[in-house]
Structure 1
């Protein structure tokens, strides 16, 4: 009993420290956002004497934050829809359809997961400029699809590979084509994994700065995270307003995570065990 209790403490203490390290930046940012500039200069770590919501209003109305928020919603929604469609189709094909080169193609998907965007950034920007996709919504959507499609295909392939093959065989005996098997059987069965990977892709796209900054150079088409960086330059001497902008960008992600954290965990472990 004593050994089990000691083991529990050994696990609980580091986890509590990790949770505190994760929550503290959000608490600190919220506290700074509700301070006046004078309160922050005098003591940045003390609790706010009174809550100054006008900082959030100033951050929202300045440098086009409302427009940046709308840009992020449009781009993220379109990118997640395209990623979900093509990722699920490719995952089904690689998991259940045997064709020449399928194994090599799957290995190529795995290899693409290990290529950082910084490595392909220069040729990528040149291709985008040559095709006229710079500073356009379709250009940024395609950039996100290219960046996160290998991750989506890998998770969906792992999930579909865990589906009992008897289900697919029964559907084929009933006269379904490969498309019919995907649309009528595999797509509904893969809905939980598809929702999980959709949430993960939405978080990835929403938090991105580098790709968005490269593809959307003009101020009118910036996404929210890029807008927060421009807010830092304009309000370098007014940290509470900048912290309010960071809070505006973080709240949607926090809300999504709180309501869909189980789905996110399922997405990470999709296909880890055979059903």
Structure 2
């Protein structure tokens, strides 16, 4: 019993420290956003004297965060929809269909997971420029799709591999085509995985700075994370306003984590087991 209690403390203490290290920056940012510029200059670590959302409102109204948020929502929604469509189709093909080169194609997808974006950044930029998709929402959607599609295919293939082949064979005996099996069998059964993968991809797209900064070159097409990053230089003498912009960008992500914790965990661990 004593050993068991000691073991729990050994695990609990590092986890508590990790939780504090994660929560403290968010609390600090919230506290700074509630301060006036004068309060921050006098003592940045003290508690705010008055709780006010003036800095958040100013960041939203005077810094174009509303337009940046619209761009982020549009690009994230389009990217996630395209990723789920292509990823679920490819996952169905790799897990349930038999065709020449299936294993090699899947290995290519797995290999693409290991290639960092920085390696292909220059040729990627040149190709987008040649097809006139730089500084367009479509270009950024296609960029996110290409970057996160291997991850989506891997998780959907892992999930669909757990579906008994007898279900697919029974649907084919009933006269369903390959597309019919995908639409009537695989999509309904794959809803949990689609939800988990969709949430993860939404977080990836929403939090991205590098790809968006590379593709969206004009200010009016910036995504929210790039816009918030630009606030650091624009309002270097007004840190509370900058903290308000950071809160605007972080609140949707925090809300998604709070409401979809189980789905995110399922998505992260989806590829770790099979059968």
TM-score normalized by structure 2?
0.98
Q: Distance in 2 between matches of 1:255 and 1:79?
A: 20
Asked if 1:217 is matched to 2:224, the reply is no
Kept in 1: contact 2:155–2:271 (CA 8 A): yes
Equivalent positions of 1:103-252 (< 5 A) are: 103-252=103-252
* Mapped contact 2:235–2:242 kept (Cα < 8 A): yes
Shifted more, 238-247 versus 51-60: the winner is 51-60
Do the aligned residues in 1 keep the contact of 2:154 with 2:271 (CA within 8 Å)? no
Report how many residues are paired.
Answer: 275
Give CA deviations for 1:70-104 in whole Å, capped at 9, x if unaligned. Answer: 00000000100000000000000011111111100
Q: Which runs of 5+ in 1 are unaligned?
A: none
Which structure 1 residue ranges, 4+ long, deviate > 6 Å from structure 2? none
Distance (Å, rounded) in 2 between the aligned partners of 1:104 and 1:230: 43
Contact 1:160 / 1:271 at 8 angstroms: preserved in 2? Answer: no
1:8 alignment partner in structure 2? 8
Match of 1:31 in 2: 31
> Which stretch of the first structure deviates more once superposed, 242-251 or 166-175?
166-175
Deviation (angstroms), 1:146 = 0.4
Deviation at 1:38, TM superposition (A): 1.4
Deviation at 1:271, TM superposition (A): 4.6
Q: Matched residues in 2 for 1:271 and 1:112: separation?
A: 16
Tell me by how many angstroms 1:258 deviates. 0.5
Q: What's the secondary structure of 1:233's corresponding residue?
A: helix
- C-alpha separation in 2, matches of 1:181 and 1:105: 22
Can you list the C-alpha shifts for 1:220-247, whole angstroms capped at 9, x where unaligned? 1000001001111110000000000000
Q: Residues 31-62 of structure 1, C-alpha deviation per residue, up to 9 Å, x if partnerless?
A: 01001111111211111111231111110012
In the alignment, what sits opposite 1:253? 253
Distance 1:220 1:61 in 2: 14
Contact 1:162 1:271 in 2 (8 A): no
- Determine helix, strand or coil for the equivalent of 1:227: helix
Asked if structure 2 preserves the Cα contact closer than 8 Å seen for 1:63 and 1:230, the reply is: no
Q: What does the per-residue CA deviation read over 1:117-142, in whole Å, with 9 as the maximum and x for residues that have no partner?
A: 11100000000000000011100000
For residues 274 and 78 of structure 2, the distance between their equivalents in structure 1, rounded to whole angstroms, comes to 32
After alignment, is 212-221 or 176-185 more displaced? 176-185
Structure 2 residues without counterparts, runs of 5 or longer: none
Name the CA distance, whole Å, in 1 between partners of 2:176 and 2:158.
23
Match of 1:79 in 2: 79
- RMSD across aligned positions (CA): 0.9
Answer whether contact 1:155 1:197 (CA < 8 A) is retained.
Answer: yes
